[in-house]
Amino acid sequence: MKTIFIDRDGCVNVRLVGNWVMTWDDFEFMPGAIEGIALLKKAGYRLILVTNQRCINLGKFSLDGLNNLHSQMQDELKSEGGFFDKIYHCPHDRHENCGCRKPQAGMLLQAAKDFDDIDLRNSIMLGDQESDRLAAKAAEVGCFYQISHNQTIADAAKIILSSK
């Protein structure tokens, strides 16, 4: 199944300057995110969230808290027709040298192990940071779209769907 990897902070929700998004009150969807995710899901794509959350291993945020936040996000997305098929997070801090913190490719490679029909070269990644682009490149994901307030997930979705 054709798969799209999507970064969270700065793509799905607005990034908080100087802090992590740890409560539903602080979780503000980016413009075009809910719509774009619904468009891609209705078009039959598998959508996989890949997010660095070093707040976990820093002890700032619990895994339960992160899971709760993501289930609220999923509920909101589902009410508009979209959802993520799977969510991967990297809990590690920068110095831990894990293989999963973007720009490393670990979360994408793990997804390719977990879903045996993922073809990374034919997959797509949406991200707002250079580390997203580099992770996609390291995993040999074929296509990357930069997301910003000016090119939202909905904008990228329209390009992807029109070039199918």
CB of 117 to Mg ion, least distance (A): 26
Minimum CB distance to Zn ion, residue 53 (Å): 9
Annotated active-site residue 155? The verdict is no
Bond from prior residue into 31 cis (ω within 30 degrees of 0):
no
Minimum separation from the CB atom of position 52 to Mg ion (A): 8
Q: Cα(first)–Cα(last) distance of the chain, in Å?
A: 14
Give the number of residues written for the chain: 164
Q: Does 35 bind Mg ion (CB under 5 A)?
A: no
Please report, as ranges, the residues that interact with Zn ion according to CB under 5 A: 90, 92, 98, 100-101
Contact set for Mg ion, span 112-131 (CB under 5 A): 128-129
Q: Which of 9, 25, 26, 75 is catalytic?
A: 9
Site for Mg ion in 1-20 (CB under 5 A): 7, 9-10
**85: annotated active-site residue:** no
Q: Residue 121, by phi and psi: left (phi above 0), alpha (psi -120 to 50) or beta?
A: alpha
DSSP characters over 80-148: TT---SEEEEE---GGG--SSSTTS-HHHHHHHHHSTT--GGG-EEEESSHHHHHHHHHTT-SEEEE--
Binding at 101: pick from Mg ion, Zn ion, none (beta carbon under 5-8 Å per type):
Zn ion
CA distance 7 to 102: 10
**Residue number with the smallest Cβ distance to Mg ion:** 10
Q: Which does 92 bind (CB under 5 to 8 A by kind): Zn ion, Mg ion, none?
A: Zn ion
Q: Among all residues, which ones are annotated catalytic? A: 7, 9
What residues make contact with Mg ion under the rule CB under 5 A? 7, 9-10, 128-129
